[in-house]
A and B are shown apart, each in its own frame.
Chain A
Amino acid sequence: MLGLTAAQAVAAIDAGELDAQELFTRYRERAEQDRQTTWQGGLNCFTWVSQGVPHAASGPLAGVPLAVKDLFCTEGVPSQSGSRILEGYLPPYTATAVARLRDAGAPLLAKTNQDEFAMGSSTENSAFGPTLNPWDPDRTRVPGGSSGGSAAAVAAGLAPWALGTDTGGSIRQPAALCGIVGLKPTYGSVSRYGMIAFASSLDQAGPLTRDVTDAALMLKHMVGRDPCDATSLAHREPIVLPSAERLDGVRIGIPAELQRSPEGGSALASSSHRPGTGKVEPSVRRCFDEARKQAEQLGAEVKEISLPHAPHALSAYYVLAPSEASSNLARFDGVRYGLRAENATDLLDMYSRTRHDGFGPEVKRRIMLGTYALSSGYYDAYYARAQKVRTKIAEDFAAAFQAVDLIATPTTPGVAFELGEKTSDPWAMYLSDYFTVPMSLAGIPAISIPCGLSAESDGVAKAGLPVGLQLAGPAFSENRLLDWAYALEQALGFDVTASHV
């Protein structure tokens, strides 16, 4: 039963072949075991596991258990956003996305680990220890981030499916590194009410699943206007489960600027943002080329396009997201909830020690960056400028979608890297999101599907690590995006259960 996708489990439960409570119990036991065996074979996917089994859940999701990223408020259940400053925080309400899924019949199995306040690409920034990638038998590689716990749990078969969030790539990148499906919907599709905020104009909730069908199923039950979120919107048509077998007539564009990423790190030469320079790991290049051929065999017309401002997307993102975050995280001041530094001598002391003790280094770094970019005298050069770059990127995509129906890129420049490999060089870490950030800035939907594994013949450090393919479409094109991703998924035949523990 643990090998079933969520959709398959729903069908089996509806057909009376599977008992939902038994399913929940099995998953719960395995999740609990993972929690107990951290650093001894466990992956550290979870920050909290349900202690009981819910009563029979009814609804279209029939009781299939759901793992939920730590930053979603779940009433009475710790919601910490991976941070010490919220350790043990119990919200008095449940996030809309989680409530909708629960009401559709998906009970809460566990909360999953993440980079602190969703800032990171490896889950190494969690205050509760990193999560490990189940594809690596040595257990020394990252699952990606910030939704690393959700991705690893699904990849390891410890949860049938999971809810994550994506701000610059935090669903898609871990999905790619963990060989599963991850979808970032059109901005505004899913209510942000109850999502502990990182960057308000970029954050979006989305599914991490074993296949595209499950992603569609979860999305279908989450979308829709929420009166509690002024930025939420309705899709004009309901989300449907995919069924396409071919890609005849589908025009796929490959942006010249997003076939390579810049050389990593601070040693970055000024030439790095010109198209065609820099690198993508050989495994990624090979798998991407193979996926492209596969798409052509299915009848797609693949051509090169240009997104001229895409090379500046990462820079703009690392102005906008930290700026919004610096403001969103101001509420963590020790007054009403969360950590308060002990024996504070005065108010200022209370504020500064609480935040000094409660925030990790990456969060502090981004708060400083954001505060700087918003400060008077620098606002025009940084924040306002970055907003203009954002406009240009959105225009680039709009122009591209006049000529093509889908845009394809590798999801990440490389496969899962080692713990500690990029932690001393922030920009090297940020480059993990090079291909995913432009879609976040434009607010358009994008999905990552697994398209292959690294091989010895690539000449890489480690074989057998997954590679992701990213497909993006215009705003509100989820149904078509899911349909075409499904067709490719079927053709690629990637085995998602290979990493199950």
Chain B
Amino acid sequence: MARELSAVLDHVARIGELDLDGVPPTSHVVNVSGALRRDEPRACLPRDVALAQAPAVSEGGFLVPSPQA
């Protein structure tokens, strides 16, 4: 795994060869903005559906080992 990863890293590191000074990064290839949602409530999932796929449930909640501290 480490060998394969480092080989891949060598290939991707080649983007370091290009001169990219002053080039703006693209974080969204879609050139629009907004798409905000109206603040209107929509139906929530019934609790039994929300919990249906849970590996462990207790008292209406998802049961997990406690984080320490």
Q: Which residues from chain A sit less than 8 Å from chain B, CB to CB? A: 89-90, 92, 187-188, 201, 227, 230-231, 233, 266, 268, 273, 309, 312, 314-316, 318-319, 334-340, 344-347, 349-350, 361, 364-365, 368-369, 372-373, 381-382, 384-392, 394, 425-427, 430, 441-443
Contact = CB atoms under 8 A, between A and B. Distances in A.
Contacts, number: 130
Nearest to B25: A387
A386 B62 contact: no
A278 B52 CA distance: 53
A337 B65 contact: no
The 9 closest A-B pairs by CB, nearest first: A387-B25, A443-B29, A340-B55, A337-B53, A230-B35, A388-B23, A388-B20, A266-B7, A390-B26
Nearest to B20: A388
B9 A369 contact: yes
Contact of B32 (A233, A315, A364): A233
Given A347-B65, A365-B1, A188 B30 contact: yes
Contact of A382 (B12, B17, B50): B12
Contact of A387 (B10, B17, B26, B68): B26
29 contacts: A89-B53, A92-B45, A201-B29, A230-B35, A233-B32, A309-B18, A315-B11, A318-B12, A336-B62, A337-B55, A338-B53, A340-B55, A345-B65, A347-B65, A361-B1, A372-B9, A385-B15, A385-B20, A387-B27, A388-B23, A388-B24, A389-B18, A391-B24, A391-B26, A392-B18, A392-B20, A394-B29, A425-B4, A443-B29
Contact of A316 (B15, B49, B50, B67): B15
Q: Contact size class for B?
A: 35 or more
Given A339-B55, A372-B9, 9 more contacts: A231-B30, A340-B55, A346-B65, A347-B68, A369-B8, A384-B25, A390-B26, A394-B29, A430-B11
A442 B28 CA distance: 10
A257 to B, nearest CB: 14
B66 interface: yes
A427 B3 CA distance: 12
Contact of A315 (B14, B50, B53): B14
